[in-house]
Amino acid sequence: MTEEEAPKSRPVVRLRPKAEARAIRHGFPWVYADELVTDRRTQGLAPGVIATLEDAERRVLGTVTVNPKSKIIARMLDRDAEAVIDRDWLAARLSRALDLRRRLFDQPFYRLVHAEADGLPGVIIDRFGDVAVVQPNAAWAEALIGDLCAALVAVTGVKTVIKNGSGRSRGLEGLPEETVVLCGAIDGPVPVEMNGATYMADVLGGQKTGLFFDQRPNHAFAARLARGARVLDVFSHVGGFALACLAGGAESALAVDASAAALDLATQGAAAMGQGARFATRQGDAFATLEALATEGAQFEVVICDPPAFAPNKQSLDAGLRAYERVARLAAPLVAPGGYIVLCSCSHAADLVAFRNASARGLGRGGRRAQLLHTGFAGPDHPMLPQLAESAYLKSLVFRLD
């Protein structure tokens, strides 16, 4: 540790008098730009710098990382103002996260780090056996990516670490988009076993980290309903719900997605499971495909719609809720009498009540009466920070239709 990195040598940033210091003391991890004194000295700090946070009365609140370019100008790293944010500190946080996942899962396929909820703000790490994909979505993690990679290898024993530097969050932090193999090598999609299914994760070129672990428990619930059923999986990505349902005994599954590459990976997964004959794909716009299937008179005992985030922020909430309602309306006629529909949202701006109401409106406008059977959320490898609603983003609603 250099003299500049020592806690006593760090810059100090201070909350404005009207800022809510109580929320920070009670566990809220963020300071917004309008809550911090942003004088010339603070504005001149390099993105990702480590600093000491004080309240307006100069009482110390903890160790934060500061990015003057971001609306979230400071993120709490440690309540201890003397904490040294180095490789050992990172290893300790990773070890704590790994202990939880080892208790939850028999195989090393899971989200290892879920950002603020695991004490590493803005950092996502998904593990695929000996491969780990890191999304450093905050400037401090980008600055310490070398130490983070080394700590990750030391703690978990993974052989390959990939930095996935893409997505909206990095843009908000002023970070460039890039995907880099930090150590090891990768020569193709990684097979991942989950809920009895085999998924092919494109960890270099796929969406996000290549696979969505968050839906694992919802996949399992849908698979129970799908025994002996015809299944339609819309917005299927690499076959998330469809392959789980086939593993659970579905008669057949049709996966719909706009991405030909994703559907090709889904087909590879079905073949690896020995289920290729019962699996089919249809590439195209989801809304147009739902309308086309209705025109064709198609019926399925189980229909699943797991779209991308239609409401990623408050500004897009109204439009997003209309889109969720439209999905439900178009999908409803495709469900056979007495069948089931699973509707999902990964939009943190649309809370559970708003999403449930939009879904119910859509089903009603689609001419169906519904029973709500089950409400699902992300799996336990995606823990929620109670003070941060954004960390609980995933909702899954299961209805039975008359």
Domain extent listing, the chain: 3-78, 87-183, 198-401
Q: What share of the chain is helix, strand, coil (3-state, %, to 5)?
A: 35, 30, 35
Counting residues of the chain whose pLDDT is more than 70, the rounded percentage is: 99
- Beta carbons within 8 Å of 319's beta carbon, 6+ residues apart: 310, 311
Question: Does the pLDDT of residue 4 top 50, yes or no?
Answer: no
- Beta carbons within 8 Å of 190's beta carbon, 6+ residues apart: 128, 129, 131, 200, 201, 203, 210
Identified catalytic residue from 149, 245, 344, 346: 346
Length of the chain equals 402
CB 269 within 8 A of CB 320: no
The per-residue pLDDT for 3 is: 43
The per-residue pLDDT for 5 is: 56
Query: Residue 390 — pLDDT band, cuts 50, 70, 90?
Result: confident
H/E/C letters for each residue in 220-283?
Answer: HHHHHHCCCCEEEEECCCCCHHHHHHHHCCCCEEEEEECCHHHHHHHHHHHHHCCCHHHEEEEE
CB 261 within 8 A of CB 205: yes
Q: When comparing pLDDT for 158 and 165, which is higher?
A: 158
Query: Residue 205 — pLDDT band, cuts 50, 70, 90?
Result: confident
The per-residue pLDDT for 373 is: 98
Mean pLDDT of 184-188: 95
Query: Residue 1 — pLDDT band, cuts 50, 70, 90?
Result: low
pLDDT 10s digits, 211-251: 999 999 999 999 999 999 999 999 999 999 999 999 999 99
Question: Does the pLDDT of residue 196 top 80, yes or no?
Answer: yes
Summary count for the chain: helices (H), strands (E): 12, 19
Mean pLDDT of 81-103: 98
Q: Within 10 Å of residue 124's Cβ, how many Cβ atoms?
A: 23
Question: Does the pLDDT of residue 92 top 50, yes or no?
Answer: yes
The pTM assigned to this predicted structure is: 0.94
| Cα separations in angstroms, 361 against 34, 102, 229, 322, 371 | 38, 41, 26, 10, 13
Mean pLDDT of the residues in the chain: 95
**Is domain 3-78 given the CATH code 2.30.130.10 in the classification?**
yes
What are the E-state strand segments in 71-159? 72-78, 109-114, 123-128, 131-136
- Beta carbons within 8 Å of 75's beta carbon, 6+ residues apart: 29, 30, 31, 64, 65, 116, 121, 122, 138, 140
- CA angle, residues 377, 289, 267, in degrees to nearest 5: 70
| Cα separations in angstroms, 187 against 125, 130, 160, 293, 299 | 20, 13, 11, 37, 40
CB 392 within 8 A of CB 365: no
Question: Does the pLDDT of residue 377 top 50, yes or no?
Answer: yes
Superfamily of domain 198-401: Vaccinia Virus protein VP39 (3.40.50.150)
Q: Which residues pair with 51 in a beta bridge?
A: 64
Mean pLDDT of 41-47: 95
Mean pLDDT of 96-112: 98
The per-residue pLDDT for 391 is: 83
CB 368 within 8 A of CB 332: yes
Mean pLDDT of 324-346: 98
Q: How many Å apart are CA 390 and CA 402, to the nearest integer? A: 34
State how beta strands 300-305 and 279-283 pair.
unpaired
Q: Within 10 Å of residue 167's Cβ, how many Cβ atoms?
A: 15
The per-residue pLDDT for 69 is: 92
**Token pair recorded at residue 224:** 């129970």
Is 245 noted as a catalytic residue in this protein?
Answer: no
Mean pLDDT of 253-267: 97
The per-residue pLDDT for 339 is: 98
| Cα separations in angstroms, 80 against 90, 306, 322, 386 | 15, 41, 45, 20
CATH of 87-183, one of 3.20.20.80, 3.40.640.10, 3.30.70.20, 3.30.750.80: 3.30.750.80
Mean pLDDT of 90-117: 98
